[in-house]
Amino acid sequence: MPNVFNIMPELEPDEMSFIQGIVNNMSEQEAQQFASIYRARRRDPMLVLVTAAIGFFGIAGVHRFMLGHIGMGILYIFTGGLCFIGTIVDVFNYKRLAFEYNIKEAQQVQAMMMGQYGGTNGYGL
């Protein structure tokens, strides 16, 4: 059973526990491959914070585009981050936004790997 802390020590604690549940039934090689793909896709919470803060000084909604929320990104651009209120809320909720995006990406990587290796690991994927 691979240990996520050894493979990806940069993860936040809540994200690390979720990823540990995914890689529990993987071999060490599969866990390394998962980590490699997941690292390329995940968003660092500090990057989300910085891009949300750009909304105060530049273009609002950049962080929403980065997180795949295209509709909200367009709305933020045309409304100035919903008159800065939405941008302020996102600056305070940047960790939750990053966590939700990263969980979705982890599940997609898991599904892709299960399709490649076959079988499931208890999550129905």
What was the pLDDT predicted at 15? 94
Coil, helix or strand at residue 101: helix
What was the pLDDT predicted at 118? 59
Per residue in 74-111, pLDDT (tens digit) is 999 999 999 999 999 999 999 999 999 999 999 999 99
Structure tokens given for 77? 């651009």
Q: Mean pLDDT score of the chain, rounded to an integer?
A: 90
Structure tokens given for 79? 């409304």
Average pLDDT of span 6-14: 91
Q: How confident is the model at residue 116 (pLDDT cuts 50, 70, 90)?
A: confident
pTM (predicted TM-score): 0.86
- Residue spans of the domains in the chain: they are 12-116
Question: Which DSSP state fits 24?
Answer: T
* Among 118, 105, 112, 100, CA closest to 33: 112
Residue 58 has pLDDT above 80, yes or no: yes
Per residue in 45-55, pLDDT (tens digit) is 999 999 999 98
